[in-house]
Amino acid sequence: MEPILIVRPEIALDDFLPIFLASSFVLIFGLFYVAIYTLVKMEKLKSIYQPFAYVFWVLQTYCMYYVATTIQSNHFTIKALMVTMVCYLILPHLWYYLNQRAEERYEQ
C-alpha cells in the first residue's frame, strides 16, 4: 500500500502573533461594520458616518485575506473566503431592505 503523505504547513515563529491578532480583528472589524451600519439605519448616527462602516469592512476583508495567506490556505479556500466577505458586505443591506419593505406593507 502506498504510504499517505500529508504535508503539514509550517508557520514561521514570527507569524503566530500576527495570525492571532489578525483573526481576532476579522471579527472585531466585522462587528464595527454592522454596528455602525445599524446605528446609521436606526438614525442614532448621522448618515455621514456610513463610509466608516465600509472602511471597517475593507479592513476586515484585508485581515481575512492576510490570515488565509499566512496560514497557507489553498487557493480554493482563499477564493471561498473572499466570496464570503462579499456576502457579508451585502447581507446587512439585504436585511434592512427587506425589513423596510415589510414595514411599508405592514403600515399600508
Binding site for another protein (CB under 8 A): 6, 8-9, 11, 13, 16-17, 19-20, 23-24, 26-28, 30-31, 34-35, 38, 41-42, 44, 67, 71-74, 76-77, 80-81, 84, 88, 92
- Residue 31 or 55 with smaller CB distance to another protein: 31
Calpha distance 1→3 (Å, rounded): 6
- Residue 4 or 48 with smaller CB distance to another protein: 4
Q: Which of 30, 92, 31 is nearest to 61 (CA)?
A: 30
Q: Residue 51 corresponds to which cell in the numbers above?
A: 463610509
Q: Which amino acid, one-letter code, is at 15?
A: D
